[in-house]
Chain A
Amino acid sequence: MLNYLITGISLGSIYAIIALGYTMVYGIAKMLNFAHGDVIMVGGYMCFCATTYMGWHPLLGVLLAMAVCTVLGIVIERLAYKPLRSAPSLAVLITAIGVSYFLQNAALLIWTSNPKSFSPIVGRGAVQFGDLQITHVTLVTIAACVVIMAALTLFTGKTKLGTAMRAVSEDKGAAQLMGINVNTTISMAFAIGSALAAIAGVLLCSAYPMLVPTTGSMPGIKAFTAAVFGGIGSIPGAMLGGILLGIIETFCRAYISMELSDGIVFGVLILVLLVKPAGLLGKQTREKV
């Protein structure tokens, strides 16, 4: 029971980190970045290459993955999304899908479809607390999630750039009038989101050590529902949504049915949205006539 809870929190932490990336981008650019899941996959592959082919220390691998993904995020934003800033949201959505296809197929060409077995960034050992056994990977995942959450809260609350981000997400036009460079701020959101995706990718592959070009898509969709679940645009919401989703999924797998677990997770999402249309911690906006 407790073991399942820990597994759930660990899985949920990964979802939460991915969901944070979605939420940052959605909050500022008001777009569903469907390519986010594939940035996770790129992060995983980068770390894999660094540690397996070049024999780097895992920590260096994580840093490389973060660096590559940050650059990738900024490049994607500049090339594909920025020209569409004033376009209808559906056009941006389709472009994001195009980027997602592109990343998946590029990965397919570079790394082929053969699954790569990823060696976890920390040893396979486990810590024993009485009956409870927690693997190192689980510990690192949960710790990373807590650290990232704290850092992001501090960043958006206290720093100048974070305040600028909140301003842009509130009202783009007014923020621009106050002398905030909207383009730089949006790029920053993509950079941070992509760096988080890289971390999530490495953690995901450490927990489930199989790496294929479509690794990122299902966790990406689930993390996205987690972000909506918690209230998209809200940082604590993404965190709460991710962890709850992870716990629900793990318990469904353990007690109800392996195959039905995805269905139940999405069913819970629909129920929550029907009762609270803006998600658990989302801001309720009233419709103006």
Chain B
Amino acid sequence: MNKIKNLWATRRDSVIAFGIVIAAYIVVQIMSMTGNISYSLKGMLVPICAYVVMAVSLNLTVGVLGELSLGHAGFMSVGAFTGIVVTTVLTDAVPSDGLRLAIAMVVAAAAAAVVGVIVGVPVLRLSGDYLAIVTLAACEIIKSIVNVLYIGMDSKGLHLSIVKQSFTLEEGGKMIINGPIGVSGINKISTFTAGFVLILITLFVILNLINSRHGRAIMAVRDNKIAADSIGISTTRYKLLAFVISAAFAGMAGTLYAMNYSTVTAAKFDFNLSILVLVFVVLGGLGNIWGSVIAAALLTVLPELLRKLNFNDYRMLIYAILLIALMLFNNSKLKQMLLERRGSKKAAKTEGEVA
């Protein structure tokens, strides 16, 4: 009994996170089977999954590692475009959609991780606001490079050029990425179930990482870098570890997201998207994984809900006001008072039990 209690105490967050995701999946499946789901919500299911993965992975950098990153969309972009190239190349070789998507995600994760190392090694030497602004810069650099990328495929293989299209394709060849025009005619193979599985994998890896020796080392770096250094934790290594894992999952989320639309451009993965995901993480609670899951899902649906309530013109305005109000409430005396009241009630209850 005690063992179970202990397990519950240490793994409560994991149990809640998995519980929420599985329950939500079942509810949505039942709703769509009985036809109770609106068309617009149905179209948002895959993006919601992608945002949840983005939020959970960004929480690893911002909440667990404690470094503000404003460039998460950059890794998503790398993952998205890698995924598109891989799925196009494998169209004939791998007929199964699900398997093709899985392979694309693995390659996308690897590509995003490589970019994560390239960005992370120099950037993680900085900290605080400077780190934030440099990650933002990195995201903008990725965006402008993808924006001038031309990739085409014909019977001779892949062709790649930057700035100008310097290759001509044979007959029957296909342009995959067409510079600023982006990608069009994507075979939409992302499904809600794929998104659900990706969320489960993300939660499994990140929650286990947090509860492991490495996770504790990462948190030690966050709480006191100098103290962590002094007890032999390599701060640079653990910072990079967290940053790269976070980037890899963003890459997978990118593939999932891109494969849900028929056209994708580099401009989609800009600074605003990074900010959007950061908002999910902060509102869900820094370091709180299931908070990120809920915040990402709710805040993605919220503008749609407001549209349904006939606030169409004002919905983004209301979204902004809610955001400000939530932040003000989170740091206000009112919340502290409520928390204290709840705390004293709890204390009274345990006292009663002891007596």
A98 touches B324 (CB 8 A): yes
Contact with A along B277-316 (1 / 0, CB 8 A): 0110011001000000000000000000000000001101
A273 touches B134 (CB 8 A): yes
CB-defined contacts of B317 to chain A, threshold 8 Å: 102, 105-106, 109
A97 touches B141 (CB 8 A): no
A99 touches B140 (CB 8 A): no
CB-defined contacts of A105 to chain B, threshold 8 Å: 316-317, 319-320
Say if the beta carbon of A111 comes within 8 Å of chain B.
Answer: no
A259 touches B148 (CB 8 A): yes
A228 touches B226 (CB 8 A): no
Contact with B along A262-289 (1 / 0, CB 8 A): 1100110110011001000000000001
Contact with B along A85-125 (1 / 0, CB 8 A): 00101110111011101100110110000000000000000
A260 touches B320 (CB 8 A): no
Complex partner residue of A84 from B136, B179, B327, CB under 8 angstroms: B327
> In the docked arrangement, what's the CA distance between A108 and B313, Å?
9
CB-defined contacts of B201 to chain A, threshold 8 Å: none
> In the docked arrangement, what's the CA distance between A269 and B125, Å?
15
CB-defined contacts of A84 to chain B, threshold 8 Å: 327-328, 331
A94 touches B133 (CB 8 A): no
Among all A-B residue pairs, the 5 with the closest Cβ atoms: A263-B144, A266-B137, A102-B320, A101-B320, A98-B323
**16 extra A-B contacts, CB within 8 A, seeds A83-B332, A266-B137, A273-B130:** A83-B328, A91-B282, A95-B328, A97-B275, A99-B324, A101-B316, A102-B324, A105-B319, A109-B313, A260-B144, A266-B140, A270-B134, A270-B141, A273-B126, A277-B125, A289-B226
> In the docked arrangement, what's the CA distance between A98 and B326, Å?
10
- Contacts from B to A (Cβ < 8 Å): 62, 68, 122-123, 125-126, 129-130, 132-134, 136-138, 140-141, 143-145, 147-148, 163, 179-180, 226, 271, 275, 278-279, 282-283, 286, 313-314, 316-317, 319-321, 323-324, 327-328, 330-332
CB-defined contacts of B328 to chain A, threshold 8 Å: 80, 83-84, 95
CB-defined contacts of A263 to chain B, threshold 8 Å: 140-141, 143-145
Identify 6 residue pairs between A and B in the complex whose beta-carbon atoms are under 8 Å apart, listed by A's number.
A89-B129, A90-B286, A95-B327, A97-B275, A232-B129, A269-B137
B331 touches A97 (CB 8 A): no
* Closest A residue by C-beta to B136: A221
- Contacts from A to B (Cβ < 8 Å): 32, 80, 83-84, 87, 89-91, 93-95, 97-99, 101-102, 105-106, 108-109, 221, 224-225, 228, 232, 257, 259-263, 266-267, 269-270, 273-274, 277, 289
CB-defined contacts of B140 to chain A, threshold 8 Å: 221, 262-263, 266
CB-defined contacts of A224 to chain B, threshold 8 Å: 133
B313 touches A91 (CB 8 A): no
CB-defined contacts of A261 to chain B, threshold 8 Å: 144
B331 touches A87 (CB 8 A): yes
Complex partner residue of A266 from B141, B147, B320, CB under 8 angstroms: B141
Complex partner residue of B126 from A99, A232, A277, A289, CB under 8 angstroms: A277
Complex partner residue of A277 from B130, B141, B330, CB under 8 angstroms: B130
- Tell me, rounded to whole Å, the shortest Cβ–Cβ distance linking A249 to chain B: 12
* Closest B residue by C-beta to A101: B320
CB-defined contacts of A80 to chain B, threshold 8 Å: 324, 328
CB-defined contacts of A109 to chain B, threshold 8 Å: 313-314, 317
CB-defined contacts of A98 to chain B, threshold 8 Å: 320-321, 323-324, 327
* Closest A residue by C-beta to B164: A257
- Tell me, rounded to whole Å, the shortest Cβ–Cβ distance linking A76 to chain B: 10
> In the docked arrangement, what's the CA distance between A266 and B282, Å?
26
CB-defined contacts of A289 to chain B, threshold 8 Å: 226
CB-defined contacts of B145 to chain A, threshold 8 Å: 260, 263
> In the docked arrangement, what's the CA distance between A83 and B145, Å?
41
B133 touches A267 (CB 8 A): no
> In the docked arrangement, what's the CA distance between A261 and B132, Å?
21
A94 touches B141 (CB 8 A): no
CB-defined contacts of B271 to chain A, threshold 8 Å: 221
> In the docked arrangement, what's the CA distance between A232 and B126, Å?
15
Complex partner residue of A94 from B126, B147, B278, CB under 8 angstroms: B278
Complex partner residue of B133 from A108, A225, A259, A260, CB under 8 angstroms: A225
B138 touches A266 (CB 8 A): yes
CB-defined contacts of B313 to chain A, threshold 8 Å: 109
Complex partner residue of B282 from A90, A101, A274, CB under 8 angstroms: A90
Of listed B125, B134, B143, B283, residue having the most chain A CB within 10 A: B134
> In the docked arrangement, what's the CA distance between A83 and B134, Å?
28
> In the docked arrangement, what's the CA distance between A249 and B291, Å?
41
> In the docked arrangement, what's the CA distance between A117 and B199, Å?
46
> In the docked arrangement, what's the CA distance between A97 and B314, Å?
18
- Tell me, rounded to whole Å, the shortest Cβ–Cβ distance linking B148 to chain A: 5
CB-defined contacts of A266 to chain B, threshold 8 Å: 136-138, 140-141
* A266-B137, A270-B134 given; A101·B332 CB < 8 A: no
CB-defined contacts of B226 to chain A, threshold 8 Å: 289
- Tell me, rounded to whole Å, the shortest Cβ–Cβ distance linking A277 to chain B: 6
- Tell me, rounded to whole Å, the shortest Cβ–Cβ distance linking A109 to chain B: 6
* A95-B328, A260-B163, A274-B122 given; A228·B323 CB < 8 A: no
- Tell me, rounded to whole Å, the shortest Cβ–Cβ distance linking A115 to chain B: 18
> In the docked arrangement, what's the CA distance between A89 and B278, Å?
13
* Closest A residue by C-beta to B229: A289
* Closest B residue by C-beta to A103: B320
